[in-house]
């Protein structure tokens, strides 16, 4: 009998000890489909105040937890998981997309009930969704029946491809730089979905500038360096290419000036889809995790109306920023202009002298309440940029993205435009390339190239069609142009027809009566490159000048910078069905790309090579 009592006492003691034992629980939260980390996921102990959020790698830690308690892991747009704590082992938690979400609305005073027409929207369900994986990326795609085709209203500006100009008659070419890369990630979204991109969605300069290039760092006298190279044109060996590269000064993130950021987030009904507002929230959480104490963030939202969700808050108070993001829900119409005005006002009210003052607009661009025309919105942005606040525009989603509107807003707001197709792209834009994307080191950067008629019969700028300037604009400091961020690279390519090489692209014209065709100055220079730029807070421009001379290199002897950019340009011309592509084929593009791939730390170049192969199969069907 005594033995039984002793055994009972021992068992009770074990139970009491277990109930008071505390452990530390660590874990990683990822997306079930792709395996990508889910940043800012909420991890809380059920029935307790203990909670935390995942960091930029999807990692979390909770200390002093009792065995037997239940963890609730949730993320906007995903099905929550409940896990009982049994031991202190590292947890790997996969969250699946919630394909049966109820309609959602704005919190508090921004509540807008979803209108009845939402029942006509195409419903995403497991039965009509399929997934494709390409080098670690996932793309969830609707596959409706023929009677259930979703309505698409994506908007792209018409692009009239640049033609060849005769250097004797028109020796100057002037354009604004472009550091945007939205076209490339948007094309990737379409290619992964098995769709051939529309021609006007293909902006070749943005494809080229999606990639980093190995250019020398600038000297102290200028915020960026200039690199030039002259070599053989692979798609037309009788022609040559002039490759120009600008390299912005690299500044470690921790050394960047303090940031005054305003997240301007579209929470209208059109942002309901999983790859819109939920991805916006995850992206902003990722950026938040990398803020410093001296950085500040405010959050402005807009739907049928606009409002301030979070006043300007120090980057050291990440829980408050993450909590405000978690409360965002989608519903209602889109009053984008009201949100833009409020966001700029908040940015001005919290302006940091010498800092990075910027509005980050995240939207599908579908403005439909208040001022909504492109011209009116551009006028608003042009007035606001005089405040010293820059604008970055991040595009999200499919089906109704207004690429043309977002392009114009970014261009006129002294900022850049990126398209976020998944969390990997968000990490590239907002974390890996934060300085390049979010901190301007030179603004209103313009390039003017003069071609020597003794060397060059004709020339053509590849891409940059919506960035062309008049030759008089080069010296006009009132003329707006593109901006360079810390560590940014900018690349431009001219295809040139050497003097003495005949070409159908150069049309014959009658001799001019009052102009001389003789060249009085002899020079070995092929072209002369001039660049103007302003300091981020400057009003007057500075001039840089670089001649391009020497014998053009054979293709095999050209640098990886030269070869890779040419391969990307050739792929862009193939997608655009360009009359200038010559006898180019996908197999030739693959060969050129593989030759010029060079160092590829993040795998972006290999990813493009895979996509070239995919588009080859797509076109040849």
What's the pLDDT tens digit per position in 468-526?
A: 999 999 999 999 999 999 999 999 999 999 999 989 898 877 777 776 655 545 678 99
Band of the pLDDT at 77, cuts 50, 70, 90? Answer: low
Determine the length of the chain: 621
| Pairwise CA distance, residues 224 & 226, whole Å | 7
pLDDT at 552 over 60: yes
DSSP β-ladder status, 489-498 and 525-534: unpaired
| Pairwise CA distance, residues 57 & 346, whole Å | 31
pLDDT at 200 over 60: yes
- Residues 6 or more apart in contact with residue 4 via CB below 8 angstroms: none
Instruction: Among 83-97, 106-120, 541-555, name the most confident range.
Output: 541-555
Distances from the Cα of 337 to the Cα of 97, 149, 361, angstroms = 32, 31, 11
| Pairwise CA distance, residues 582 & 409, whole Å | 35
Band of the pLDDT at 11, cuts 50, 70, 90? Answer: very low
Distances from the Cα of 518 to the Cα of 498, 512, 515, 521, 583, angstroms = 17, 12, 9, 9, 35
- Residues 6 or more apart in contact with residue 515 via CB below 8 angstroms: none
- Residues 6 or more apart in contact with residue 514 via CB below 8 angstroms: none
Phi, psi (rounded to 5 degrees) for 211: -100, 150
pLDDT at 556 over 50: yes
- Select from 18, 177, 71 the least CA-distant residue to 544: 177
Give the whole-number percent of the chain exceeding pLDDT 70: 82
Which residues pair with residue 523 across a beta bridge? none
Q: Tell me the average pLDDT across 126-136.
A: 34
Least confident of 116-120, 234-238, 255-259, 460-464: 116-120
What are the structural domains, with CATH classification, of the chain?
20-95 (2.60.40.1120), 165-251+441-507+525-619 (2.60.40.1230), 257-438 (3.40.50.410)
DSSP β-ladder status, 22-31 and 91-95: parallel
Question: What DSSP character marks residue 414?
Answer: T
What token pair was written down for 150? Answer: 């979703």
pLDDT in the model for residue 103: 34
- Select from 213, 168, 199, 169 the least CA-distant residue to 492: 213
Q: Are 245 and 226 in contact (CB under 8 A)?
A: yes
| Pairwise CA distance, residues 293 & 295, whole Å | 6
Least confident of 91-95, 153-157, 171-175, 288-292: 153-157
| Pairwise CA distance, residues 566 & 350, whole Å | 44
Band of the pLDDT at 222, cuts 50, 70, 90? Answer: very high
Band of the pLDDT at 330, cuts 50, 70, 90? Answer: confident
pLDDT at 449 over 60: yes
Please compute, for residue 18, the number of CA atoms within 13 A of its CA located in the half-sphere on the CB side.
12
- As to burial, measured by CB atoms within 10 angstroms (0-12 exposed, 13-18 middle, 19+ buried), residue 620 is exposed
pLDDT in the model for residue 20: 54
Q: Would you report the helix, strand and coil content of the chain in percent, each value rounded to 5? A: 30, 30, 40
pLDDT in the model for residue 249: 95
| Pairwise CA distance, residues 477 & 469, whole Å | 13
pLDDT in the model for residue 106: 35
pLDDT in the model for residue 519: 53
User: b/e for 240-271, b at 16 or more Cβ within 10 A?
Assistant: bbbbbbbbbbebeeeebbbbbbbbbbbbbbbb
Instruction: Among 196-205, 376-385, 398-407, name the most confident range.
Output: 196-205
Least confident of 320-334, 348-362, 593-607: 320-334
| Pairwise CA distance, residues 141 & 119, whole Å | 20
């Amino acid at each position: 009998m005594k033995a039984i009592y002793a055994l009972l006492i021992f068992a009770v003691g074990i139970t009491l000890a277990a109930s008071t034992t505390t452990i530390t629980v660590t874990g990683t939260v990822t997306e079930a489909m792709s395996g990508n980390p889910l940043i800012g996921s909420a991890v809380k102990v059920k029935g307790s105040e203990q909670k935390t959020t995942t960091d930029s790698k999807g990692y979390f830690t909770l200390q002093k937890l009792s065995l037997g308690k239940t963890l609730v892991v949730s993320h906007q747009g995903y099905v929550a998981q409940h896990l009982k704590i049994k031991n202190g082992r590292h947890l790997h938690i996969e969250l699946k997309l919630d394909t049966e979400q109820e309609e959602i609305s704005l919190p508090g005073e921004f509540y807008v009930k979803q209108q009845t027409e939402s029942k006509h929207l195409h419903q995403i369900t497991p039965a009509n969704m399929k997934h494709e994986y390409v080098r670690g990326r996932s793309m969830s795609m609707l596959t409706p029946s023929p009677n259930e085709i979703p309505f698409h209203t994506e908007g792209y500006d018409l692009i009239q491809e640049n033609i060849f100009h005769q250097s004797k008659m028109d020796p100057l070419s002037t354009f604004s730089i472009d550091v945007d890369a939205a076209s490339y990630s948007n094309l990737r979204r379409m290619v992964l979905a098995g769709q051939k991109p529309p021609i006007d969605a293909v902006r070749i300069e943005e494809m080229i500038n999606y990639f980093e290039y190995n250019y020398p760092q600038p000297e102290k006298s200028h915020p960026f360096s200039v690199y030039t190279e002259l070599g053989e044109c692979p798609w037309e060996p009788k022609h040559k290419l002039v490759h120009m590269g600008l390299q912005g000064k690299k500044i470690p993130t921790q050394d960047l000036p303090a940031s005054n950021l305003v997240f301007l987030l579209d929470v209208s009904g059109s942002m309901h889809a999983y790859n819109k507002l939920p991805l916006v929230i995850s992206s902003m959480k990722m950026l938040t995790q990398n803020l410093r104490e001296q950085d500040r963030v405010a959050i402005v939202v807009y739907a049928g109306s606009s409002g301030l969700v979070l006043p300007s808050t120090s980057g050291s108070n990440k829980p408050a920023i993450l909590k405000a993001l978690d409360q965002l829900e989608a519903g209602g119409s889109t009053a984008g202009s009201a949100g833009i005005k409020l966001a700029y006002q908040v940015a001005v009210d919290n302006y940091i002298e010498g800092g990075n003052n910027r509005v980050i607009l995240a939207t599908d661009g579908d403005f439909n309440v208040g001022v909504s025309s492109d011209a009116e919105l551009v006028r608003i942005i042009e007035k606001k940029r005089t405040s010293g606040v820059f604008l970055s525009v991040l595009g999200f989603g499919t089906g109704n993205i207004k690429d043309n509107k977002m392009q114009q807003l970014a261009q006129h707001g002294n900022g850049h435009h990126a398209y976020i197709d998944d969390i990997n792209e968000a990490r590239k834009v907002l974390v890996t390339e934060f300085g390049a994307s979010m901190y301007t080191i030179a603004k209103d950067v313009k390039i003017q190239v003069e071609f020597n008629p003794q060397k060059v019969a004709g020339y053509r700028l590849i891409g940059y069609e919506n960035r062309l300037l008049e030759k008089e604009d080069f010296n006009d400091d009132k003329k707006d142009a593109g901006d360079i961020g810390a560590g940014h690279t900018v690349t431009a390519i001219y295809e040139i027809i050497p003097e003495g090489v005949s070409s159908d692209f150069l049309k014959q014209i009658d001799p001019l009566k009052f102009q001389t065709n003789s060249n009085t100055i002899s020079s070995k220079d092929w072209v002369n490159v001039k660049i103007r730029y302003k300091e981020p807070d400057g009003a007057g421009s500075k001039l840089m000048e670089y001649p391009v001379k020497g014998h053009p290199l054979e293709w095999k002897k050209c640098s990886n910078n030269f070869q890779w950019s040419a391969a990307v340009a050739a792929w862009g011309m193939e997608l655009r069905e360009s009359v200038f592509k010559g006898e180019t084929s996908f197999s030739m593009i693959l060969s050129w790309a593989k030759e010029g791939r060079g160092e590829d730390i993040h795998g972006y170049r290999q990813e493009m090579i895979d996509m070239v192969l995919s588009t080859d199969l797509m076109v040849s069907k």
